[in-house]
Structure 1
């Protein structure tokens, strides 16, 4: 009887120990659950704060961009009147200074446009309006757009024939904006040689490329080129200012078109910037 009583007592002690351990584990689990709930609540609060901060930044950028437009347009108009000699002739030095004012105002206007567009993208206020269009028409419009600014006789802007690229169903204005940024940068950083614009098809994707024979970009800068406010440090960059927003905006616009962007470059040999988008945005069906 004694042995049986001892066995029962041992079992009861073991059972109680298991109960105590289970209660301890349950308490730890409840404490962990409370911590997880608190963490989720904190993350939700931080996400809301981040959303509000992003919204405020976008509203601020949009407001300031709009406010800047009026004085910029006034400066450009006055500079144009002076360049056209509406109020009389200019000396050579005066013409040089007015030209500097005009180019600076134009550069400032481009910065404001980039800021406004970036603010719209971040706020989700950019609408994509896809439609069928021909590559020839897009290249023709870009050629005409850049013809007035090709003032350097040592640089040639070449548009290759699209070849086997079919009609595309996408937003040609957004695509044109991306290519304009690429071409503008290429012309800016190519003292001599050529800037070549082309397109090639790979299955259901089309890649547009802008290649130049300019100064090129060091490898350490390639990974951050498409980030906000990123600029390449080079002797030429010191003379050509900008916000560094053009490429960041191009990347975001490409994503809206279901595409990607990229760059290849070698210092002293030039650069190639590209954007790849689907032939049919969103898998659109219909007669191409």
Structure 2
């Protein structure tokens, strides 16, 4: 009788264990179906995101090209007026035409930034590397900014290239574009003082370019987002200036293409230092 009771008890436990296993198996199958559904949803969302990104890049590229023709026409007409081709201008007319020229030039810069961003996002930016001297790059930048230094209270300084800076093997046009964006921003947000461009070796095979200013500075809460697309720092000076907020974002992406990175050090009211660090020699597999 005791053996029969024991067998019955064991049978009951076995059936309970089997029932629990079946329940767990059913729960596991349901979880697996949920995971598969989630993966399918993620794949769909990723596909939609890729399509949206592609459409945005195509839209930016298309609009940039379309804007170039009217901008070019405006700049050409303004240049003819300033050259007095159709006769002399009054002082007020000259001031107004100069205003048109400045705004058309800024608009052209915005369009170029949009087009470059579209190319980067579409993976259609070509890196063309060659050996060049830093002295030549600084000299070209100095000449480029000389005509736009209209504020007598701001000085643009290019420090002498240190003796330990070797020739660079990278895309000098992309590097120049990054530095132009840094310098342009620094000049915009520096009412008085100086903007200083310098370079130094910072490690084995690395070189850092810095653009330091004595301008309005950037509050800490903007440090993490300043290199994001369309980011603009809220300030009274910003309200009087134009721009897309794409220059720094584009610089970050170009620096990545050159195998480097960008950084910011800034204190509100005391100025900012934007820097880009890249390898002295860009390896072929990095392009």
**CA–CA separation in structure 2 for the residues paired with 1:152 and 1:28:** 72
**CA–CA separation in structure 1 for the residues paired with 2:112 and 2:228:** 17
What is the DSSP-based 3-state SS (H/G/I as helix, E as strand, rest coil) of the residue aligned with 2:273?
Answer: strand
Paired position in structure 1 for 2:194: 194
Deviates more, 1:216-225 or 1:82-91: 216-225
**CA–CA separation in structure 2 for the residues paired with 1:218 and 1:95:** 39
Paired position in structure 1 for 2:152: 153
What is the Cα deviation at residue 151 of structure 1? 2.4
Paired position in structure 2 for 1:23: 22
Structure 2 stretches lacking a partner, 5+ long: none
Paired position in structure 2 for 1:4: 3
Q: How many residues align?
A: 284
What is the Cα deviation at residue 215 of structure 1? 2.0
Structure 1 stretches lacking a partner, 5+ long: none
What is the Cα deviation at residue 106 of structure 1? 0.4
Deviates more, 1:38-47 or 1:146-155: 146-155
Deviates more, 1:260-269 or 1:67-76: 260-269
**CA–CA separation in structure 2 for the residues paired with 1:112 and 1:283:** 30
Paired position in structure 2 for 1:264: 265
**CA–CA separation in structure 1 for the residues paired with 2:284 and 2:111:** 34
**CA–CA separation in structure 2 for the residues paired with 1:7 and 1:133:** 91
Paired position in structure 1 for 2:246: 245
How well do the aligned residues superpose, as a CA RMSD in angstroms?
1.5
What is the Cα deviation at residue 218 of structure 1? 2.3
**CA–CA separation in structure 2 for the residues paired with 1:245 and 1:58:** 14
**CA–CA separation in structure 2 for the residues paired with 1:250 and 1:180:** 9
Asked if residue 254 in structure 1 is aligned to residue 255 in structure 2, the reply is yes
**CA–CA separation in structure 1 for the residues paired with 2:266 and 2:198:** 17
1:47-66 alignment to 2 at 5 Å? 47-66=46-65
CA-to-partner distance for each residue in 1:86-136, whole Å, 9 max, x for gaps? 111101110111011110100000000001111111111112222222211
What is the Cα deviation at residue 191 of structure 1? 2.2
Paired position in structure 1 for 2:173: 173
Paired position in structure 1 for 2:283: 282
CA-to-partner distance for each residue in 1:216-240, whole Å, 9 max, x for gaps? 2222222221111111122221111
Asked if residue 216 in structure 1 is aligned to residue 217 in structure 2, the reply is yes
Asked if residue 140 in structure 1 is aligned to residue 139 in structure 2, the reply is yes
TM-score by length of 2: 0.95
Moved over 3 A (4+): none
What is the DSSP-based 3-state SS (H/G/I as helix, E as strand, rest coil) of the residue aligned with 1:281?
Answer: coil
